[in-house]
Structure 1
Amino acid sequence: MLAIVCPGQGAQKPGFLSPWRELPGVEDTLASLSEAGGVDLLRHGTESDADTIRDTAVAQPLLVAAGIIASAQLRAEGDLAPADAIAGHSVGELTAAALAGVLTDQDAMRLVAVRSTAMAQAAAAEPTSMAAVVGGAREDVLAAIERHGLHAANINSAQQVVAAGSVEAITALGEDGPAKARVIPLQVAGAFHTPYMAGAREELAAFVPSLTASDPSVPLISNAGGDVVTAGSRYLDQIVTQVASPVDWEACMGTLRERGVTAMLELAPAGTLIGLAKRDLRGIATASLNTPDDLEAARELVREHAGAAPIEDQEN
């Protein structure tokens, strides 16, 4: 069983789209996606520095576009079976929606444009931040986060929870964190996936009815508890809720384990989710599709592992 996964914000790197632009048709695709998303993807993906692409309104469209391009190039030869499951981390869920046919590529870019701008505006309303808490007992970690008035925004793995909230509280967590854990401040603009994003959720809720959602062509695993979602409208509802609610990637990996995943392919810019899988899904085959040089190895992984999933899927 093959799972294709799509990374979230923070995975972007300066120039990471440069190798892809050399392939036939990619610049035209980037131009079309740029128009839909209202951002110059070619410039930001090839020339802009780390500070520029850290901006939420730039980073999120870049990530969705990168996944769309990498997936299209993966299947350019036309002889590959579909993935047995698709999942995305945070904004990666919008990439997953495009890959699974819930949204067209252009509508995925329109949606990420609204999402990223709304989240950036919500983040600018007051100083907030996030920090990864690595290690420690889960109950101790959650208790420390609650004690400091923070939120558990991302449950990334058995050993990593991301706390979010006011800058002062994040600092206090670093000084008085849970036992046997490291608190690592993250370079992000705000407390994503918490009630601080309520305004962004409202904007998305107002925009989503303008989109046409199709049911996914492959099982989609949601950040909301790792559910397998087979209705496109339900998936979009969860994308709206997700901006102000926790991302439970640990639950997504648990669902993949239960379904018998044997391989995971992470789309560009890859590495983060594969790293988590190597710790929580030990023994599965993995591949990162970061540049065109990775395409053949990625195709081999698909040929070997795709098509082994059970037909029965949970309805949500």
Structure 2
Amino acid sequence: MTISLFSGQGSQYEGMGKDIAESSAQLLKVYETGSAILGRDLKEICFSAPLEELSRTVNSQPAIMATSIICLEAAKEKGFTFEGVAGHSLGEYAAMYASGMVTLEDAFRLIKARAEAMEEATQGTKGAMAAIMKIEPEKVEEVCANAKEYVTAVNYNSPVQTVVAGTPEGIEEVSGIFKEMKARVIPLNVAGAFHSKLMQSAADKFYETAKTITFNAPQCKYYSNVTGGELTDFSDMASLLAKHIVSPVRFTSELAAMNEAGADRFVEFGPGRTLTGLVKKTLKEATALNVENLETLAALFQ
């Protein structure tokens, strides 16, 4: 069983998706659709914006989603098929599009509302994030629970990689403790404490747009960050997606559920190889590939 995976925020880089998108007039239309909804030139943001500008939440979220969708559509043009989808954080929006749950237009409407609400929330509330490596998630949770300042586990990426989010003081406090425990601590270059309660104002604001969108039943298996498994109830996606903004990404659980269902081939679409690396670390027997340019697209069919 083949699963299509979709990258999250932080994977962006200048010029991402350019060679694949320019290989087909049809693929370039994805940017046109996005630009019309965003009210600015999405192709220009992806191809030419300096990294600092591209990394702003309001730019990186639609840009990464567009790149992921273009990479997937390029593979589908060549005959690629898949039985399930999963995204990491922001990647869930490309996954919803890939599964047929939302139209391309609605995917852009959702991501515009999400990115704007999250950027606004980070301006009102200071937050920070850090990746904690070489230590079990249970130990990470324990340290966070005992911290004086607010900090919590928000991304369960692999059995030995957990991302924490909280106030800058909270992140500083636990970082010192983790280093004493011989863990590796990597501060993340993000604007806020994503997937924590510090994003509640963003979740509330985003919900107002999400509840106006029509969600269809997916045409393949759909795995959710919030539940950590295959989603079977699609009756209130607006609430689930709002909850997603303030809930942990249970990616390790999702991989286990996919593996149990028979998934043995994972293809990550979009910038970078973060998810490909996580699959290789977590599921040693599985095949993991990524598609982000013409070279990796060709490798998918070798």
Same fold (TM over 0.5): yes
Indicate conservation of the 8 Å contact 1:140/1:179, yes or no.
Answer: no
Can you list the C-alpha shifts for 1:219-278, whole angstroms capped at 9, x where unaligned? 100001322124444444322210011111111111111112111100011300010111
Give the distance between the partners of 1:107 and 1:92, measured in 2 at CA. 15
Match in the other structure for 1:194: 196
Structure 1 residue 294 displacement after superposition: 2.0
Aligned equivalent of 2:240: 238
Query: The residue matched to 2:63 in structure 1 has which SS?
Result: helix
1:74 has 2:75 as partner = yes
- 1:313 counterpart residue number: none
3-state SS of 1:169 partner: helix
TM-score for both structures, normalised by structure 1: 0.90
Where 1:9 maps in the other structure, the secondary structure is: coil
Q: Do structure 1's residue 139 and structure 2's residue 138 form an aligned pair?
A: yes
The residue matched to 2:145 in structure 1 has which SS? helix
Q: C-alpha displacement at 1:296, in angstroms?
A: 2.9
| The 10-residue stretch of structure 1 (289-298 or 117-126) with the greater mean CA deviation from structure 2 | 289-298
Name the residue aligned to 1:54.
55
AA at the equivalent of 1:189: A
Report the equivalent of 1:87. Answer: 86
Segment of structure 1 superposing worse, 206-215 or 232-241: 232-241
Q: How does 1:212-231 map to 2 (within 5 A)?
A: 212-231=214-233
Match of 1:10 in 2: 10
> Hey, what's the Cα distance between the residues in 1 that align with 2:21 and 2:229?
35
Q: Is the 8 A contact 2:86 2:222 kept in 1?
A: yes
**Is 1:150–2:151 an aligned residue pair?**
yes
Which shifted more, 117-126 or 170-179?
170-179
Q: 1:115 to 1:46 in 2, by over 3 A?
A: same
Q: Offset at 1:181?
A: 1.0
User: Identity of counterpart residues, as a percentage?
Assistant: 29
Which TM-score applies when normalising by structure 2?
0.94
Question: What is the rounded CA distance, in whole Å, between the counterparts of 1:4 and 1:21 in structure 2?
Answer: 19
CA shift at 1:198, angstroms?
0.6
Mean alpha-carbon deviation: is it higher for 187-196 or for 252-261? 252-261
- State the alpha-carbon separation in 2 of the partners of residues 147 and 214 from structure 1: 42
**CA distance in 2: counterparts of 1:189 and 1:142, whole angstroms:** 22
- Kept in 2: contact 1:133–1:181 (CA 8 A): yes
Q: Is the 8 A contact 2:136 2:161 kept in 1?
A: no
Deviation of 1:283 (Å): 1.6
Deviation at residue 29 of structure 1 after TM alignment: 2.7
Give the whole-Å Cα distance in 2 for the aligned partners of 1:278 and 1:236.
Answer: 32
Cα distance per residue 1:75-97 (max 9 Å; x no partner): 114x44x3121000001001100
Is 2:52 the counterpart of 1:24? no
CA contact (8 A) 1:264 1:286 kept: yes
Structure 2 equivalent of residue 309 of structure 1: none
RMSD: 1.6
What is the match of residue 173 of structure 2?
172
Structure 2: 5+ residue stretches without partners: none
Structure 1 residue identity aligned to 2:120: Q
CA distance in 1, matches of 2:235, 2:296: 34
Helix, strand or coil for the counterpart of 1:275? helix
Counting matched residue pairs gives 298
Q: Distance in 2 between matches of 1:190 and 1:222?
A: 22
Report the more deviating stretch, 179-188 or 99-108.
179-188
The runs of 4+ residues in structure 1 deviating greater than 4 Å are none
* Counterpart amino acid of residue 123 in structure 2: A
- Give the AA of the match of 2:183: A
Distance 1:234 1:157, change over 3 A: farther
How far off is 1:284 after superposition? Answer: 0.9
After TM superposition, give the deviation of residue 15 of structure 1 in Å: 1.2
CA distance in 2, matches of 1:139, 1:227: 19
